[in-house]
Amino acid sequence: MNTMLRFIWNSWWRNKEKFILVLVGILILSIGLSYLVGITQANNGTIVDELQKRWKSSYDIVVRPQGSRSVTEELNLLEPNYLSGLAGGISMEQYETIKKMDSVEIAAPIAMIGFTLNDVQLDHVDLKEPGVYRLKVSEKNNNGAFLDKDEGTFYFTEGKWKPAGLGKEYGVGEFDGNLNYGSYLLLAGIDPEAEARLVGLDNAVITNGNSHYFTKEDIPHEYTVLDTIKETSIPVLISNKEYVDSEITYEIERLDFPFELNEQGKTMESIKKNGGEAYLQKQNGIVIEKRSFTTDQALEKIITNIMESHDSNENRFNLVALKPSPVEYRPIKSPFQDRWPFSYEITPYTLPEDSFLKVNQAYRQVKPFGEGFNDWLRLKTEPIGVFDPAELNLSKDPLTELPMETYFPAKAKLVMDGDETPVNPPKTMKPINNPYGFLTKPPTMLTTLEAAEKVLGDQPIASIRIKVNGVNELNKESEKILKEVADEIEKETGLLADITLGSSPQPALTHVPGIEGKTNLGWVEQPWIKLGSSISIFKETKVGASSFIITVILVAIVYVFSSNLIMMYVRKKEYAVLLSLGWRPNQLSKLLFAESTILGSIVSVISWLILGYIYLLNDIETSTGRIILIGVFGLLIYWFGTLVPAILVRKIKPYESMKAGEISNGKRYFKSQTAIAISMNYMMTKWKRSLLSIFSIALPSAMLIFFIFVTFRLKGVMYATWLGQYVALEIGTMHYLAMGIAMAIAILTTLEIIWQNVAERQPEYAVLKALGWRDATVRSTILFEGGVNGLIAGVIGFGIALLAIIKVYGQNPINELIVLIVTILIPISAGLLGAIIPSIKAVKIQPYQGLSGGYSNSKKSEKQFKYVFAFGGACLFVGIILLLGSVIPEIKNSANPNTAVQGTEGKAIDVYKTSSSKEKPRDKDNKDNDFSSYYESAFKRMNSDDQFVMKNDVIDVKDFTVDVGTVKSGLNDGKTKLSIPFTFTSFTETNWLLKPYTYQLIDSKGKKYNTIDWEVVEKENWKGNQVVGKGKISVRLTYEVPKKSDNLIMLVTIDGLPGDIVVDIK
């Protein structure tokens, strides 16, 4: 063995150029392994967002009224901008009490008043020609995911004719020609002094002569409009940021009716007779005016009006009808618990049947100030200034990710659609121009607390944000102080006081179900607030690095394979000689494996050294498993790469030692009349080798092109579900570095292959040079060879990447095609780079060198070489280690506490339905026609004529009962009419949402039947599909089923239960 080692060592050491290549390969592989396997895996692919460091809320404690805690707080989670959803509940006395406490540094109350339409006249149309007109108003609301359209039509006349009354019977009204637009703002009252101290609101005001912060003079006035009707004028500050992205289009059409002065009356009477508005709707019109305005334009106009003080009083009157309200969340099981342990579903609010609003469902509770508009707030907003929320003294990095502060809309990204397919890239959701959207808006119109008190009455304050004296850092001491202060507040005022210091953003998933008129939007990710005394880390799990580690390893194996193969070609004759001297063929295999074991071990050792150095410096935790893995990888790469050459080497015939100098007996593929053609011929004769170099360049090229696509198109992050796991692949430095390493290995592979090609053609080059070829020609033929290899690799890589992009995203990267095509330059450069050194070698060939092998070994040069080599190698090694050592800290620090997070549980509902007529069978259920699937997924199973009792296990009281009475049937036109009595009785204070009229009957063939009729027999506390507290709903549901139907089941859905109650109908 000793002699064999000597033999191996000699063959390396006495063949220095090759040996350098081998060592470079070892170094690259070592770096790759230590970096990719050691470091990447150490982070377990987790990149920690440094947000936590910048994360500091402006307040330490939040005080809220009793009963304002959301269900989500059971898991210490708060909805982003939760403050905006609270309406009143704290009195001025309570506020004063808190304010006076010694430990309270700042107590900043916020009184959410309600939503007000902040609109402005943007244009005016003056219609001179008398006639009947149609005004079409359409609003396009960009919610981030799609355009939400809303349209309305209105008819008016222009002329002397006026209806006797309101004109409803004519279907027309009056139009003053003013075109207004604006968005709904959340109006909130704040204490100017406290707000200035807490967030520096005073400094955020854009001051000029007409815009200023609240002063002592800015006070509300109440005045009487009519006998009993009072209005309040309040000073307001308006935010200069518009978060709603909407556009309104006014389109005026003139209808074809005779409307001369003498005909007006006649025309209108005939319209009335023909059906008024319904008749008008059928008429064609000619568009005479069309204007569009955006919410941004509206706000700009408003701001300009304020700043330049040509604000007239005309539009300042506001009826505030709606109070702010929170979104009701229901915890559900996250579809991807590893990534989002917390998932909620919005429980849509169904409006009472007698609601004044035209919609039946909304994403949040609609809380009007009263039944009629007499109860609404009558406000006259007097703008005193404009403020810029960006100037507030809040930690604003990144601006939109601060769910606790009141001044910005919380970031929301649509990450998956209704089918749980990832959205690429995730779409940033925008608030819509109405108060009932699911995104909670920040208050953008501010008034004084005084004004809020005046309009809201007794308990105007919704919450108080408190800054406590002596709390600056997050530590045990602060925690203790805060706890004391919170307890004191709760004791003194009876309000809820929660510590918010130390809370952090927690990405949570919200399922936005479909409601009336809206499809199942999908899953929205928002940074929620995780309350807790310890800072948890805002982390994003990135995809395991395995895929690109595999790529690098594959390329490495190809490199070792090529390198070995070439070594084999070089030593083919040597091996044949050894065989003829009596060596056994398997000794040659052993020789190769011994060699690769040595090299692989060196790679492992160097990797360990690099890793050890990095760990030493950076205090990164690692596992023994990983360290072993590196060793194994190092050896495996070399062993795998040797496998094929080790087999091939056994096929060498000893007879080949008898052959004289091998002359390549390649075929002709091209007419060898130009240097390029000769080069191509050379390449084609060795096409198998070229294939290796092409493969090794193509693989990292494909990955690179793919990464570049992700970087450009998807802003660096790709989302996908792989094997049912949600993964986010963030393309970062690491990925490019990995591909850089792979590319370096590919270049090395190419270099070795072309090197060998040149070496084999040495006699030919010598002859060509003797015949007068210039160095430049020789160089260009070799560079050309490298370039062509690169180009082919590039095209292949591009194709693979393109397929991958289309397959993974279903997206056509047409927009990025140019960028991607340019990336083909990378593999081409790789090919060229690989060809440079061989081309230098070829140029150095002298005509006289002819057929000699040429091993020059003067003692002197050998010694020199030793020193130069040792020195250069050491420098390179140290340099790389230093480089890695300085790069790593950027990505270290995962800490990665893999503590199991208790996530949310529950089932998502696609669409919430309101009425039976719109009822459609659920898609999912259509697939199964067998009852067993219903029984399996059922929460309970019962018979008709029976009762189901839901009991609270803990205190043994009845929660509710479900009674299904005797089914009566009757015949009707060959069909059976079934009448099923259904009663739901609640015994506790819980609210139960149920819609008995949506319950379907299903027969054994899977056919579904909706109710054809239903009547309420008895009700108690039954409001808007809910049994509110203790109460009861008893209905008689009527179905029509074919005569022969038997074996029917009824699916009873009660919101909040984990499954349906399946009732066997006899």
Partner 1 sequence: MENIVCKDVSRIFTGDGIETNALTNINLSLNSGDFVSIIGPSGSGKSTLLSLLGTLDVPSKGEITYGNQKISQLKSKELADFRFEHIGFIFQQFHLLPTLTALENVMSPLMARKVPYNKKEKAESLLEQMGLKDKCNALPSQLSGGQQQRVAIARALVHEPSWLLADEPTGNLDTETGETIFQLLQRLNQENGCGVIIVTHDPVLAERTDIQIEMKDGQIISERRCEHYA
Burial of residue 487 (CB within 10 Å: 0-12, 13-18, 19+) is exposed
Q: Which is nearer to partner 1, 649 or 718 (CB)?
A: 649
CB of 829 to partner 1, least distance (A): 35
Contacts of 1061 (CB under 8 A, 6+ apart): 938, 939, 940, 941, 942, 948, 962, 1051, 1052, 1053, 1054
- Region at 477 (left for phi over 0; alpha for psi -120 to 50; beta for the rest): alpha
CB of 654 to partner 1, least distance (A): 4
Query: CA–CA distance from 654 to each of 524, 568, 580, 581 (Å)?
Result: 71, 14, 5, 9
- Sole window of 245-253, 283-291, 485-493, 852-860 interacting with partner 1 (rule: CB under 8 A): 852-860
CB of 23 to partner 1, least distance (A): 17
Q: Which is nearer to partner 1, 654 or 716 (CB)?
A: 654
644 binds partner 1 (CB under 8 A): no
Q: Which of these, 435, 390, 410, 444, lies nearest to 529 by C-alpha position? A: 410
Check: CB of residue 551 under 8 Å from CB of residue 737.
Answer: no
7 binds partner 1 (CB under 8 A): yes
Backbone dihedral angles phi then psi of residue 974, each to the nearest 5 degrees: 75, 5
- Sole window of 386-394, 546-554, 583-591, 1014-1022 interacting with partner 1 (rule: CB under 8 A): 583-591
Q: Which is nearer to partner 1, 654 or 903 (CB)?
A: 654
CB of 848 to partner 1, least distance (A): 17
CB of 570 to partner 1, least distance (A): 11
CB of 767 to partner 1, least distance (A): 20
- Binning the chain into helix, strand and coil, the percentages to the nearest 5 are 40, 25, 35
335 binds partner 1 (CB under 8 A): no
- Judged by CB under 8 A, the residue of 228, 284, 313, 856 near partner 1 is 856
Q: Which is nearer to partner 1, 577 or 1028 (CB)?
A: 577
Check: CB of residue 144 under 8 Å from CB of residue 102.
Answer: no
CB of 695 to partner 1, least distance (A): 28
Q: Which is nearer to partner 1, 291 or 590 (CB)?
A: 590
CB of 846 to partner 1, least distance (A): 17
- Judged by CB under 8 A, the residue of 175, 279, 376, 583 near partner 1 is 583
- Region at 379 (left for phi over 0; alpha for psi -120 to 50; beta for the rest): beta
Check: CB of residue 986 under 8 Å from CB of residue 1032.
Answer: yes
15 binds partner 1 (CB under 8 A): yes
CB of 857 to partner 1, least distance (A): 6
Residue with tokens 């470091």: 39
- Sole window of 11-19, 236-244, 319-327, 977-985 interacting with partner 1 (rule: CB under 8 A): 11-19
- Sole window of 357-365, 463-471, 786-794, 850-858 interacting with partner 1 (rule: CB under 8 A): 850-858
Q: Which is nearer to partner 1, 518 or 590 (CB)?
A: 590
- Judged by CB under 8 A, the residue of 4, 663, 870, 878 near partner 1 is 4
- Sole window of 30-38, 519-527, 586-594, 946-954 interacting with partner 1 (rule: CB under 8 A): 586-594
Backbone dihedral angles phi then psi of residue 454, each to the nearest 5 degrees: -65, -40
Check: CB of residue 113 under 8 Å from CB of residue 377.
Answer: yes
Distance CA 527, CA 536 (A): 13
CB of 657 to partner 1, least distance (A): 6
- Sole window of 98-106, 482-490, 848-856, 1053-1061 interacting with partner 1 (rule: CB under 8 A): 848-856
Residue 80 preceded by cis peptide, ω within 30: no
Structure tokens, 504? 């952090």
User: Within 10 A of 480 (CB to CB), how many other CB atoms are there?
Assistant: 11
- Sole window of 5-13, 787-795, 799-807, 816-824 interacting with partner 1 (rule: CB under 8 A): 5-13
- Sole window of 231-239, 303-311, 757-765, 851-859 interacting with partner 1 (rule: CB under 8 A): 851-859
Q: Which is nearer to partner 1, 3 or 624 (CB)?
A: 3
584 binds partner 1 (CB under 8 A): yes
CB of 788 to partner 1, least distance (A): 26
The end-to-end CA distance of the chain, in Å, is: 88
Query: CA–CA distance from 979 to each of 424, 937, 994, 998 (Å)?
Result: 49, 26, 19, 14
What is residue 37's DSSP assignment? I
Check: CB of residue 712 under 8 Å from CB of residue 823.
Answer: no
Q: Which is nearer to partner 1, 580 or 780 (CB)?
A: 580
Contacts of 274 (CB under 8 A, 6+ apart): none
648-687: which residues touch partner 1 (CB under 8 A)? 650, 653-655, 657-658, 660
User: Within 10 A of 215 (CB to CB), how many other CB atoms are there?
Assistant: 10
Distance CA 781, CA 787 (A): 10
14 binds partner 1 (CB under 8 A): yes
542-581: which residues touch partner 1 (CB under 8 A)? 573-574, 577-581
Distance CA 773, CA 849 (A): 15
Q: Which is nearer to partner 1, 218 or 595 (CB)?
A: 595
Q: Which is nearer to partner 1, 582 or 897 (CB)?
A: 582
- Judged by CB under 8 A, the residue of 586, 623, 674, 947 near partner 1 is 586
928 alpha carbon, distance to own chain's centre? 33
- Judged by CB under 8 A, the residue of 159, 163, 425, 585 near partner 1 is 585
Residue 897 preceded by cis peptide, ω within 30: no
Distance CA 44, CA 817 (A): 33
CB of 46 to partner 1, least distance (A): 49
456-495: which residues touch partner 1 (CB under 8 A)? none
Q: Which of these, 437, 365, 349, lies nearest to 148 by C-alpha position? A: 437
User: Which amino acid, one-letter code, is at 940?
Assistant: K
CB of 737 to partner 1, least distance (A): 37
Q: Which is nearer to partner 1, 11 or 990 (CB)?
A: 11
166 alpha carbon, distance to own chain's centre? 51
User: Which amino acid, one-letter code, is at 774?
Assistant: R
Element (H, E) at 879: helix 859-887
- Judged by CB under 8 A, the residue of 853, 872, 1056, 1058 near partner 1 is 853
Q: Which is nearer to partner 1, 857 or 899 (CB)?
A: 857
Q: Which is nearer to partner 1, 578 or 978 (CB)?
A: 578
CB of 19 to partner 1, least distance (A): 11
CB of 565 to partner 1, least distance (A): 19
- Judged by CB under 8 A, the residue of 673, 855, 932, 971 near partner 1 is 855
CA atoms within 13 A on the CB side of 899: 6
Distance CA 853, CA 9 (A): 20
> How many residues sit in the footprint of partner 1 (CB under 8 A)?
35
Distance CA 464, CA 498 (A): 11
User: Which amino acid, one-letter code, is at 153?
Assistant: T
Check: CB of residue 8 under 8 Å from CB of residue 564.
Answer: no
CB of 663 to partner 1, least distance (A): 13
84 alpha carbon, distance to own chain's centre? 24
Q: Which is nearer to partner 1, 18 or 323 (CB)?
A: 18
- Judged by CB under 8 A, the residue of 69, 291, 590, 1023 near partner 1 is 590
CB of 742 to partner 1, least distance (A): 32
CB of 684 to partner 1, least distance (A): 16
Residues in contact with partner 1 by the rule CB under 8 A = 1, 3-4, 6-7, 10-11, 13-15, 573-574, 577-587, 590, 650, 653-655, 657-658, 660, 853, 855-857
